[in-house]
Amino acid sequence: MSTIRHTTRLLRGSRLRPSSFRFTQTRPLTTTPKVDLEAPTAPIRQPPNANSVHFPGALNSQFTSTMSFHAPNATPSLPTYRIMDTNGEIIDTSHTPTMDAEGMLKMYTAMVKTSIMDMIMYDSQRQGRISFYMVSSGEEGVAVGSAAALNPEDVIFSQYREQGALMYRGFRLDEFMNQMFGNRLDYGKGRNMPIHYMSERLNVHSISSPLATQIPHAVGAAYGLKREGEGRVVVCYFGEGAASEGDFHAGLNIAATRSCPVVFICRNNGYAISTPSLEQYKGDGIASRGIGYGIETIRVDGNDIWAVHEVTKRAREIASKEQRPVLIEAMTYRISHHSTSDDSFAYRPREEVESWKRRDDPITRFRKYLENKGLWDSSKEEDLRKTVKKEVMNAFMAAEKERKPRVREMFGDTFKEETPVLKKQREELKRVVAEYPNEYDLDAFEDGKDGL
């Protein structure tokens, strides 16, 4: 029965085209949505003597009488776009950066600030002052360069190694610290592990540990923005390891079929914890897959902040103006350990890491550019580092001193309203805590035992 109906639909496709949208609803959208998604209007059939196959699944495929399997290695690897070399010299002169000095220094400051916060927080985890941390060294260029190309209203979904993007957007040091200490000021009310940031103010969705789940979220959110019709886009970050998850496939495929204004940014840093990319995939990185989904794709040098910035700017424009997805694969190297729970020298040589650090670091490269331009020098560098260290330490000390949230926050927000079951369980805990006050560290929590 369904086959019959389906055929009927194709033959009379125009009958099914959306005729008009209704605007008498209770929650009006701001502008008229413009969506180009319609049922096929013409029947799909094989014209007589045609040399191309009109199979519905591949409309533009030509017949051939040469049997040839398409070998992946027969196609050259997709090139990596760069604007400046490792000495900070511009190579692609057609793309001379046009940003003013203030803008450039804002990017540079965000990178340095990120790397200093990383260093301090890494050490503080080693001292047992926070439970966990993830450093982003080597990848500050991808995060900051891309964030700088976005509008503040654009929505960000991230994985966890994109603190540079938050830093650039204006997530304050106290906000970072409150989250990491899970204190009473943390927006997530101390429920999530450190580095799982979020910001309503900055349109950054809460980070969750399950990898790649945010990819289809980003696509759904982008579809929402498409319907709102204001030209906002979604940016979705993930690593090359996460791209092996089914949600990557699902997300990119829906983004393409529903033409969603989303920019996917893959940080290909060579490792997923201990797994080198050689064991992650056999194709030409992540970029080659984008083409398979019918998504415009580019590979970029992730240690070149200008290249990342320009590419993201253009991708944003495509997504916003043409309302379709774009995939950016930013090639970089994970200089840091995966996390504070990982010693990466167990699976890669120390020299490899040292060589990347010395040879090609996004911060050093950009610093050279700024110095070449006469915008930066070693005394400015010293001042910046000194100031930032002080700022980070101040925020650190303040956040560490804050009490943890009220204990009752453990039960809140599970559902919008507390269910009778949860109320009972909260009261049960309250009774236990009242009976054995010395067994629990209640003073660390706001309002102590009364916080339940």
Partner 1 sequence: MATVRAVFRNGLRHARILKQQPTASYSSVASADRKFNKPIDYATSTYLAHSPATALANKELSEEVRKTSTTKKMNLFQAINDGLSTVLDRDEKACVFGEDVSFGGVFRCTMGLQERFGGERVFNTPLTEQGLVGFAIGLAAQGHTALAEIQFADYMFPAFDQLHNEASKMRYRSGGAEKFTSGRLLVRMPAGGVGHGALYHSQSPEGFFLGCQGLKVVIPRGPIQAKGLLLSAVESPDPVVFMEPKILYRAAVEHVPTDYYTLPIGKAEILKPGKDITLISYGTLTYACEMAAKHAKEQLGLDVEVIDLRTVHPWDRETVFASVNKTGRCVVVHEASRSGGIGESVAGDVQENCFLRLEAPVARVTGWDVPNALQFEDFMIPDVCRKFPIHQPFQWIANTINRYL
Q: Which phi and psi (to 5°) does residue 296 adopt? A: -60, 130
Strands 275-276 and 271-272: antiparallel
Q: Which phi and psi (to 5°) does residue 235 adopt? A: -115, 130
In the complex, least distance from residue 401 CB atom to partner 1, rounded to whole angstroms? 20
Residues 135-164: x where in contact with partner 1 by CB under 8 A, - otherwise, as a string = --------------------x-x-------
Do residues 301 and 331 lie in contact, with contact meaning Cβ atoms separated by under 8 Å? yes
395 binds partner 1 (CB under 8 A): no
Torsion of CA 228, 229, 233, 236, to 10 degrees: 40
Among 83, 147, 180, 218, binds partner 1 (CB under 8 A): 218
89 vs 322, beta carbon nearer partner 1: 322
Dihedral sign from CA coordinates of 239, 218, 173, 444: negative
Among 253, 275, 277, 372, binds partner 1 (CB under 8 A): 253
Q: 24 is written with which tokens?
A: 């008498």
Among 230, 383, 419, 427, binds partner 1 (CB under 8 A): 419
79 binds partner 1 (CB under 8 A): no
416 binds partner 1 (CB under 8 A): yes
In the complex, least distance from residue 353 CB atom to partner 1, rounded to whole angstroms? 32
221 binds partner 1 (CB under 8 A): yes
In the complex, least distance from residue 424 CB atom to partner 1, rounded to whole angstroms? 9
Q: How many Cα atoms occupy the beta-carbon half-sphere of 237 within 13 Å?
A: 28
In the complex, least distance from residue 266 CB atom to partner 1, rounded to whole angstroms? 17
DSSP assignments along 43-98, one per residue: -----TT-SEEEETTEEEEEP-SS-----GGGSPPPP-B-SB-TTS-BS-GGG---
Q: Which residues contact 360 (CB under 8 A, 6 or more apart)?
A: 86, 303, 333
Among 23, 63, 69, 436, binds partner 1 (CB under 8 A): 23
Among 18, 57, 76, 128, binds partner 1 (CB under 8 A): 18
Q: Is the backbone of residue 296 left (phi > 0), alpha (psi -120 to 50) or beta?
A: beta
30 binds partner 1 (CB under 8 A): no
Stretch that binds partner 1, among 71-79, 112-120, 243-251, 315-323 (CB under 8 A): 243-251
227 binds partner 1 (CB under 8 A): yes
204 vs 395, beta carbon nearer partner 1: 204
Window 169 to 208, contacts with partner 1 (CB under 8 A): 186-189, 191-192, 196, 198, 200, 205-206, 208
210 binds partner 1 (CB under 8 A): yes
What number of other Cβ atoms are within 10 A of residue 154's Cβ? 21
18 vs 47, beta carbon nearer partner 1: 18
223 binds partner 1 (CB under 8 A): yes
Window 292 to 331, contacts with partner 1 (CB under 8 A): none
Q: 277 is written with which tokens?
A: 């990319």
d(CA 80, CA 298): 8
401 binds partner 1 (CB under 8 A): no
Q: Which residues contact 225 (CB under 8 A, 6 or more apart)?
A: 155, 232, 233, 234, 261
